[in-house]
């Protein structure tokens, strides 16, 4: 079981986390299992496992997960080792339901990647995840014994998407839903792409096992599409692989990956991606919602933050809440979470979270416990404190632009106010697709999810990375909310990637606190990539004009972080992040079909003068804004 959790935390999967510190026989001793095939309105039947408490002294609510990752083990005598999202809820006793979604494992039907939601269904043949959830709930209420008529749904990652998809046109019995790290928009910010830039390393691994064809229902897919030996070095493997189209060579996908081909066949934000964005359908939501995400989630941090925001905007009267903690993907599902990578939080943050999660479902499904949830509950990194807010982002977080300065400085003083700034000041570097900037230091065979907090000194030393650093802070600086990059650049090529990284630099004479980080450690706090041809439209890409200055402005996910007194802020700018992100040829081509000849070196210039005030906009809490203004 430890191996499962290790793989879950390490690999680019959308697998659900489970609390496994439960005696092996607890579930079997306390629950009865029933396997059924629930008919949907179009006649397809979905495999469903129902675990009901042996204690029949009172009725129980349902707590359900719908998953593409197997609702097994299959067989009436084979039980899951744990049930539900945490141990407390297992001991509380619910009727736990697990279902294989349409077209996966033992369920009938055809699977679709991120099933598009259908508005205004006109016939029983028009189905989606909302209708499948409705039909499942309706059957359970009528056929599962000893239920109290209420249903809750939860899910992490891909199952988080199915939780979100249950919300539009929800069954009246669905009272509480918790989308956790839900996949929501795979072109703009979740697993497949960020701002149009393809996340190669994650999806190559994920689709190799997930995209295996299934001609009929199966208990075990049994294999990957292909075998691959990266010889311990993913960077070199993908460099040798060459252009993206080579992934369909006979030894790899060989056009057998349906989803993989869909990804490569839709390289702009077209109808394929838009149909799979569940956020636009989160209107008039009735069930209470608890959205959960992690500040160190390398896959679906965007999904958590934007799902909450979409419900808040489109269903303003909904009982909608957000929790963000110092977790990697699904880390909140384990019994304990005290550390991540080099960071020590000085507490088991999962105990705090599980108490909230348990009370959320108990309150809405059992009329048990009191519940007074703030709008947002977030863990503030840097200070290692839980904070609560009545609005998210906090109302007193004010946008402050930290400008890139000559001499690699970073300051809230604008270039216009800096009389020493010459006209058309810029720094430049050569971006070479043959030698892309690694996303992490060292040699790694699989994606190391610790890259999101690791030391960036290896990158700052490269000639193709620009680093801009501020003066030591005279007091703590707390940044809470969404970040925005605003960079003026030019290129000698016709396309480019822009990676902007926000970094917390430890003093050179300090070893940190509980984490024992080395002096001068450049800890990554937040970063993202933007494919510059999408600077004006994700639907209609436009080439860069060689040598012409253009503004590239884009949102970066929220943070809640305190930069401690004596630390420095740093911004790094680069044009590759490999092999996390596929290489940009730096020519205006369709990247999934381009050839090796399309890849060219490019000279990238980053401007920081009065006409081109490049910088990063940080949401600084008001008290800190005032302190910065006095400098």
Cβ atoms of 552 and 487 within 8 Å: the answer is yes
- What is the C-alpha separation between 90 and 86, in angstroms, rounded? 7
Instruction: Give the pLDDT score at 508.
Output: 87
Pairing of strands 60-67, 147-156: parallel
- What is the C-alpha separation between 165 and 499, in angstroms, rounded? 32
Q: Check pLDDT > 50 for residue 2.
A: no
- What is the C-alpha separation between 551 and 538, in angstroms, rounded? 15
Tell me the average pLDDT across 181-202: 97
Tokens read off for 262 = 């869909």
Residue bearing tokens 């989803």: 259
Secondary structure (H, E, C), 405-467: EHHHEEECCCCCCCCCCCCCCEEEEEECCCCCCECCCCCCCCCCHHHHHCECHHHHCCCCCEE
Neighbours of 342 (CB within 10 A): 16
What CATH number does residue 601 fall under?
Answer: 2.60.120.260
Q: What is the pLDDT of residues 466-492, one digit of tens each?
A: 999 999 999 999 999 999 999 999 999
- What is the C-alpha separation between 234 and 240, in angstroms, rounded? 10
Tell me the average pLDDT across 101-105: 98
Residue 571, CA distances (Å) to 190, 402, 413, 466, 603 in order? 23, 9, 15, 8, 20
Nearest to 465 by CA among 504, 422, 498: 498
Residue 555 lies in a domain: yes
Q: Check pLDDT > 90 for residue 582.
A: yes
Residue 294 lies in a domain: no
Helix, strand or coil, per DSSP, at residue 239: helix
- What is the C-alpha separation between 427 and 156, in angstroms, rounded? 43
Residue 206 lies in a domain: no
Number of H helices and number of E strands within the chain? 13, 26
Residue 211 lies in a domain: no
Tell me the average pLDDT across 546-566: 98
Q: Check pLDDT > 80 for residue 7.
A: no
CA 278 to chain centre: 15
What is residue 536's DSSP assignment? Answer: S
Residue 518 lies in a domain: yes
Last residue of a domain, one of 123, 155, 185: 185
∠ CA 148-91-100, rounded to 5°: 65
Q: Check pLDDT > 90 for residue 17.
A: no
- Among 2-16, 24-38, 599-613, whose mean pLDDT is lowest? 2-16
Cβ atoms of 491 and 463 within 8 Å: the answer is no
Q: What is the pLDDT of residues 614-628, one digit of tens each?
A: 999 999 997 544 444
Nearest to 581 by CA among 25, 194, 47: 194
Instruction: Give the pLDDT score at 422.
Output: 58
Instruction: Give the pLDDT score at 3.
Output: 31
- What is the C-alpha separation between 378 and 397, in angstroms, rounded? 14
Tokens read off for 42 = 């179009």
Residue 367 lies in a domain: no
Tell me the average pLDDT across 54-62: 96
Cβ atoms of 180 and 361 within 8 Å: the answer is no
Cβ atoms of 571 and 501 within 8 Å: the answer is yes
Last residue of a domain, one of 157, 185, 213: 185
CB within 8 Å of 32: residues ≥ 6 apart: 51, 52, 53, 54
Instruction: Give the pLDDT score at 86.
Output: 97
Last residue of a domain, one of 169, 185, 201: 185
Residue 204 lies in a domain: no
Structure pTM?
A: 0.94
What CATH number does residue 20 fall under?
Answer: 3.40.50.1820
Backbone angles phi, psi at 240, to 5 degrees: -70, -30
Instruction: Give the pLDDT score at 427.
Output: 97
Cβ atoms of 46 and 66 within 8 Å: the answer is no
Domain containing 155 equals 2-185
Residue 560 lies in a domain: yes
Question: Which one is predicted more confidently, 25 or 62?
Answer: 62
CB within 8 Å of 277: residues ≥ 6 apart: 184, 185, 188
- What is the C-alpha separation between 279 and 379, in angstroms, rounded? 25
Q: Check pLDDT > 70 for residue 598.
A: yes
Structurally, the chain folds into a number of domains equal to: 2
């Amino acid at each position: 079981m430890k191996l499962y959790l290790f793989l879950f935390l390490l690999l680019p999967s959308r697998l659900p986390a489970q609390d496994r510190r439960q005696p092996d026989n607890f579930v079997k001793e306390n629950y009865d299992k029933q396997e059924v095939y629930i008919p949907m309105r179009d006649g397809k039947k979905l495999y469903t496992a129902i675990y009901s408490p042996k204690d029949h002294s009172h009725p129980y609510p349902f707590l359900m997960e719908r998953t593409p990752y197997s609702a097994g083990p299959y067989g009436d005598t084979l039980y899951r080792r744990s049930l539900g999202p945490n141990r407390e809820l297992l001991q509380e006793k619910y009727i736990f339901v697990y279902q294989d979604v349409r077209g996966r494992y033992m369920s009938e039907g055809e699977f679709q990647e991120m099933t598009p939601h259908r508005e205004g269904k006109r016939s029983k043949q028009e189905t989606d995840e909302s209708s499948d959830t409705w039909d499942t709930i309706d059957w359970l209420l009528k056929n599962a014994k000893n239920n109290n008529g209420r249903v809750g749904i939860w899910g992490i990652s891909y199952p988080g998407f199915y939780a979100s998809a249950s919300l539009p046109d929800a069954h009246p019995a669905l009272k509480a839903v918790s989308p956790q790290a839900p996949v929501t928009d795979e072109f703009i910010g979740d697993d497949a792409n960020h701002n149009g830039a393809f996340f190669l390393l994650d999806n190559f691994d994920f689709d190799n096992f997930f995209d295996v064809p299934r001609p009929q229902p199966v208990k075990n897919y049994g294999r990957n599409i292909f075998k691959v030996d990266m010889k311990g070095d993913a960077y070199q493997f993908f460099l040798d692989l060459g252009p993206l189209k080579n992934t369909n060579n006979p030894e790899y996908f060989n056009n057998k990956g349906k989803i993989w081909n869909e990804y490569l066949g839709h390289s702009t934000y077209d109808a394929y991606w838009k149909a799979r964005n569940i956020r636009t359908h989160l209107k008039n939501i009735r069930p209470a919602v608890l959205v959960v995400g992690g500040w160190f989630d390398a896959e679906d941090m965007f999904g958590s933050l934007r799902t909450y925001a979409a419900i808040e905007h489109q269903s303003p009267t909904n009982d909608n809440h957000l929790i963000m903690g110092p977790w990697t993907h699904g880390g909140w599902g384990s019994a304990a979470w005290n550390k991540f990578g080099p960071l020590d939080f000085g507490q088991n943050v999962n105990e705090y979270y599980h108490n909230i999660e348990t009370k959320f479902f108990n309150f809405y499904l059992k009329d048990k416990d009191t519940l007074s949830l703030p709008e947002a509950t977030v863990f503030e990194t840097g200070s290692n404190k839980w904070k609560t807010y009545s609005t998210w982002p906090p109302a007193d977080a004010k946008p402050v632009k930290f400008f890139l300065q000559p001499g690699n400085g970073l300051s809230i003083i604008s270039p216009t106010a800096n009389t020493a700034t010459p006209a058309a000041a810029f720094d430049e570097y050569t971006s070479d697709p043959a030698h892309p900037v690694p996303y992490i230091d060292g040699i790694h065979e699989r994606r190391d999810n610790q890259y999101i907090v690791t030391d960036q000194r290896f990158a700052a030393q490269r000639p193709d990375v620009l680093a801009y650093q501020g003066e030591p802070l005279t007091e703590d600086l707390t940044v809470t909310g969404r970040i925005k990059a605003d960079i003026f650049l030019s290129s000698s090529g016709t396309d480019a990637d822009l990676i902007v990284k926000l970094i917390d630099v430890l003093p050179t004479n300090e070893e940190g606190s509980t984490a024992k980080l080395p002096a001068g450690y450049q800890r990554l706090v937040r970063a993202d990539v933007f494919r510059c041809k999408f600077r004006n439209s994700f639907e209609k890409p436009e080439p860069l004009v060689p040598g012409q200055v253009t503004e590239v402005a884009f949102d970066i996910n929220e943070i809640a972080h305190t930069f401690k007194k004596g630390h420095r802020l740093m911004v790094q700018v680069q044009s590759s992040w490999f092999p996390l992100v596929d290489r940009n040829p730096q020519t205006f081509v369709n990247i999934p079909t381009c050839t090796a000849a399309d890849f060219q070196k490019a000279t990238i210039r980053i401007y920081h003068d009065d006409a081109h005030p490049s910088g990063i906009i940080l949401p600084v809490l008001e008290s800190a804004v005032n302190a910065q203004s006095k400098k």
